[in-house]
Structure 1
Amino acid sequence: MPLDPVDFDNAILGLIVTTLLREALNYAAQNLRVFPCAPRKKTPLLPRQPWQQYATTDLAQINQWYTRSPQANVAVTMGPHPTVPPENWILDLDADSDEAVDLVVNTLFQGINLHTPQFKGQRGRHFLFRWTDALPNNTHANWKIHSADGTRGLIDVKAGNGKGSYCIFPPSIHPDGPTYTWLPGRSLDDGPPMSIPPEVIERIRQHIGLPSATTNQGKPATSTVRKARPPRYWQDLLQGVSEGGRNNAAISLAGKWMSEIDITNPRALEERHREFLHWNERNVPPLAPMVVEATWHNALALETRSRQQRSNQTAQAQLESWRAIRVNADPPKWKLFGPLWEGFVELSLDQWLNAAHVEKQALRQKGVSFDYGFGSLWGGNRKERRGLRQKLADAAATEEPSFEECRDRVVAHLIWSQHLDHALSAEEPHSAGRPCRLADGSLWFKTEYLLTNGGSLKDYPERNEINAVLRECGVSDRTRRFGARWVKFRVLSAAGVRALEALARKGAIEE
């Protein structure tokens, strides 16, 4: 009998309530300081006390809170705290829309693999990273990265020092209804937060209007970092510029907008180009159309060259952190070593040749998922025809198959030479399971017969070894009636017989 809608809602709510406590305890066990917020809200549940004072990793205290308020949302503090090991200090980039997510992925990180915990709320995405003192860490370190026109806050940079910032974590329920959920393969259980690369820190500081984090003795992490401008500067500039400052303003604005969009997307370029022309109309007087177009195309050329240089540097770094080994099995296999997992991902030849299959095996074997663009990285594109796969293949070491990988050939040789090569030609299978070859070229037999008539060979295969080889050759099960009883046989088709014979010939060499 189906559940009444009210009962169904209550059942779902009960499941969420149980999960809220479990996940709150799980976060605390990972040295994240937890406290409860009001159900379906972002406000602390104990308003008479500052949340900074009662956020804790104490499992007993958390259990007590959720016994009293089982539907409470789960909040986690950001930034350092003396009771927590430094490797567990975290910060959050809270991207509130698809536009903000694109800003994080393509403008701030510019194609760097974001192998870091990520979750969704009502919209957008949260990215968790290891805390860094290169970003502001005063009591209320909760900064915003604004939209290009300076009117909207797209990203909250929550880097508080344990006193000023916290984040609502899955599986809490958003005030507007949706449940916070981890992205597949991107929960805290799948791997710890990554460190923010130095060049990304510089871009974040630039966007929130702070000077470079480096000193005069050192250079910024990337030569593409421009001098930081406060949001107010861009707001004023967008209103139009008077004669005497128009050229510099046009160069600055074109460069900034180029750095924020996908310059390979014609539609995105066209939209920003129109905005650039509209901005020029607000100047007093407007720049000549020829000057505006030249400024725009120069900015595009500079950004294209800059991104290509970064792409080359990233590709080289990626190549150095990947390697592959070709296993001379039959058919060949590959062992893929990467920066996102321990050990290797084993790939068949077909899987090695297909980026989607590589992604699937990495997720299945190591619980790792790749970010957008892996297909082009792996297989190459119009600009870089030799992708990562070809470069790894060129530099790959070779390895002979292990004993276990050769064993199937030896097993095939033994059962073929001892039994199947001498199968009787018959119109019907033998009721005792003795190997018989029928008119259609198929072989009918019983595994039990192969085992009990193996002779005195010391290295004769066991049942599981025989079955593994037979499965490799496409064996099937069929039944035949003999009088009043039915007998089950193993059957190799003519193609399966040829496959087993070919494997047996290789086994004769191995033996």
Structure 2
Amino acid sequence: MSPNLYHLARLLAPGSDRSLGRVAGDLASAGVPVFPCLPGQKRPLTARGFHDASTDLAQIEQWWTRWPEANLGLPTGAVSGVVVVDVDVREHVDGRESMRRALDAGRVGMPVFTVVSPSGGRHGYYPATPGVVQRSWQAARAGVDFRGDGGYIVIPPSRTPAGSYRLVTVRQGAAAGIDSDALRDFLDPRPALQPGTAADRGVAQNEPGMVVSRLAGWVAGLGEGERNRGLFWAACRAAEYDIAPATAVDVLGAAAGEAGLGPREIAATVRSAYRTTHPTAFTASRPAGPAEASPVRVPVGAGWGLV
């Protein structure tokens, strides 16, 4: 059952007893699953990471008795009922500007509450949308990540050498939820390609540059953390247009290489995309490459502290 985010905010607010173990126990008692991360870091301490998150008080006590300074991790998505928009603030990218644009465009509402990370970033907390898969994603060029299904976030009062995670804003009447796919598409738009008639696809087959040049330009600009799934997406679009796999490897591969991917990784990703989207075409023309690889999973204002 999804937690009440206002109650969650109260549990994360500064108080007299802010020991990590005490907060972990309070969260578990409220039905919020948590797990330990390395003291001062974000990496999970347990073997299965966020998959080990628990509300079992005995387990929580065992973990924080063994690791009293362990940071607190919260799995995001359906498992906890919480999703988080993570806005990075770094030297070369400031996600706050991206979120200003998204707010002005009406692509996102205000979060229920906001946490400031030790690096100066912002974490906006929203309720997960019941019955909807909201996969985690990254839009590195926009400086924004989304933590949903398959992800986790480090929460207050966890700390790093740079400082502590701090609850800074709670907003009454905030957004009831978030359309994470719409936000991703706004922040990191894909080339607009819609397969048309068989004749249209035939033109693309005879002159593949008309299609793949747009895809390649987009792939070349992908940043670390989004290159694999971006190439996978582009290769799927090429397959939908009946572009020969060898052409996709040559043209998209050159762009992906510019973005930083290696030849073996490129071939495996394109192969996975074609087998997923258009297996018949791929069987007819199979690019040389390494052994089979698993498909790449293609999986916020004053309240944000933006002003």
Normalising to structure 2: TM-score of the pair?
0.50
In structure 2, the residue matched to 1:337 is none
What CA deviation, in whole Å up to 9, does each residue of 1:343-398 have, x standing for no partner? xxxxxxxxxxxxxxxxxxxxxxxxxx96489xxxxxxxxxxxxxxxxxxxxxxxxx
Q: Does 1:130 align with 2:105?
A: no
Query: 2:50–2:152: 8 Å Cα contact kept in structure 1?
Result: no
| Corresponding pairs, count | 186
Name the SS of the counterpart of 1:109 in structure 2: helix
Equivalent pair of 1:92/1:158 in contact (CA under 8 Å):
yes
> What is the CA–CA distance in structure 2 between the aligned matches of 1:78 and 1:372, rounded to whole Å?
19
User: Structure 2: which 5+ runs fail to align?
Assistant: 1-14, 193-213, 223-300
Retained in 2: the 8 A contact 1:135–1:205?
no
Q: CA RMSD in A?
A: 3.8
Q: How does 1:296-335 map to 2 (within 5 A)?
A: none
The letter of the residue matching 2:126 is: F
In structure 1, how many angstroms separate the alpha carbons of the residues matched to 2:146 and 2:221?
A: 25
Pair 1:117 & 2:117 matched: no
1:166 aligns with 2:152: yes
Q: Greater relative contact order: 1 or 2 (C-alpha under 8 angstroms, separation 6 or more)? A: 2
Q: Which residue does the alignment assign to 1:497?
A: none
The verdict on how the C-alpha distance between 1:23 and 1:233 changes in structure 2, with shifts beyond 3 A counting, is: farther
Of 156, 162, 165, which residue of structure 2 is paired with 1:177?
Answer: 162
Aligned to 2:67: 69
2:302 and 2:186 mapped to 1: Cα distance? 28
Cα 1:70–1:184 change in 2 (3 A) is: same
SS in 2 for 1:102: helix
Contact in 2 for aligned 1:119/1:183 (Cα 8 Å): yes
Quote the residue 1:143 is aligned against. Answer: 137
Q: Does 1:90 align with 2:90?
A: no
Whole-Å separation in 1 of the counterparts to 2:25 and 2:173: 17
Indicate conservation of the 8 Å contact 1:117/1:192, yes or no.
no
Q: 1:66 to 1:51 in 2, by over 3 A?
A: same
- The alpha carbon displacement at 1:135 in A equals 7.4
8 Å CA contact retained: 1:144, 1:157:
yes
TM-score (norm: length of structure 1): 0.32
Q: Structure 1: how far apart are the matches of 2:132 and 2:52?
A: 25
Q: Aligned equivalents of 1:127 and 1:120: distance in 2?
A: 9
Deviation (angstroms), 1:158:
1.2
**What is the identity percentage for the equivalent residue pairs of Structure 1 and Structure 2?**
25
CA distance in 2, matches of 1:155, 1:231: 22
Which residue of structure 2 lines up, in the alignment, with residue 356 of structure 1? none
| Structure 1 residues 22 and 194, CA gap change in structure 2 (3 angstroms) | farther
Question: For each residue in 1:121-140, what CA deviation from the matched residue of structure 2 results, as whole angstroms up to 9, or x when unmatched?
Answer: 12211111122379764xxx
Maintained 8 Å contact 1:115/1:370: no
* Structure 1 contact 96–155 (Cα < 8 Å) conserved: yes
Give the unaligned 5+ runs of structure 1.
1-14, 82-87, 148-152, 213-229, 239-368, 374-511
Question: Do structure 1's residue 207 and structure 2's residue 187 form an aligned pair?
Answer: yes
SS of alignment partner, residue 157 of structure 1: strand
Residues 297-318 of structure 1: per-residue CA shift (max 9 Å, x gap): xxxxxxxxxxxxxxxxxxxxxx
